[in-house]
């Protein structure tokens, strides 16, 4: 069955960096885009961008340009999200989600990881 398994919760200080992983199984990794979605505590969902798992090209939503990096370890069917220079407002749960439309940028999200809670606090 299709699964996206993410790494565990993180507690970081402002200014530090964090790397979150998302390991896919049950399908051909390079046939579907991987998207990233942020959910601040008690808030709604915000799309961060996506990575083309075939070419490795990342695309970032406007609010996530600069400190956010999407990457792949395609041989391990894993997508990664790295956030540098962490700020208090980065405290949130970060989800990876498979693009149901294949490698298209405009897509619904048919399978989701369990989410990673990142807490930024001094």
Partner 1 sequence: DIQMTQSPASLSASLGETVTIECRASEDIYNGLAWYQQKPGKSPQLLIYNANSLHTGVPSRFSGSGSGTQYSLKINSLQSEDVASYFCQQYYDYPPNTFGAGTKLELK
Stretch that binds partner 1, among 10-18, 22-30, 54-62, 78-86 (CB under 8 A): 54-62
119 contributes a contact to partner 1 by CB under 8 A: no
37 burial via Cβ count (<10 Å: 0-12, 13-18, 19+): buried
CB closer to partner 1 out of 12 and 115: 115
As measured in angstroms, the least distance from the Cβ of 120 to partner 1 is 20
100 contributes a contact to partner 1 by CB under 8 A: yes
CB closer to partner 1 out of 47 and 54: 47
d(CA 113, CA 119): 18
Say how far residue 64 (Cα) sits from the centre of its chain. 11
CB 70 within 8 A of CB 79: yes
54 contributes a contact to partner 1 by CB under 8 A: no
The count of other CB atoms within 10 Å of the CB of residue 57 is 11
CB closer to partner 1 out of 31 and 108: 108
CB 119 within 8 A of CB 14: no
Number of residues that bind partner 1 (CB under 8 A): 24
Q: Which residues of the shown chain bind partner 1 in the complex (CB under 8 A)?
A: 35, 37, 44-47, 59, 61-62, 95, 97, 100-101, 105-115
């Amino acid at each position: 069955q299709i699964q996206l398994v993410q790494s565990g919760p993180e507690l970081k200080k402002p200014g530090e960096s964090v790397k979150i992983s998302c390991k896919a199984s049950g399908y051909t990794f390079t046939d579907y885009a991987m998207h990233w979605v942020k959910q601040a505590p008690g808030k709604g969902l915000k799309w961060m961008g996506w990575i083309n798992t075939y070419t490795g090209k990342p695309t970032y939503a406007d609010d996530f340009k600069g400190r956010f990096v999407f990457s792949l370890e395609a041989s391990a069917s894993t997508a990664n999200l790295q956030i540098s220079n962490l700020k208090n407002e980065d405290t949130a749960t970060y989800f990876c989600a498979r693009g149901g439309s294949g490698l298209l940028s405009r897509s619904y999200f048919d399978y989701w990881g369990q989410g990673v809670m990142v807490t930024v606090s001094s």
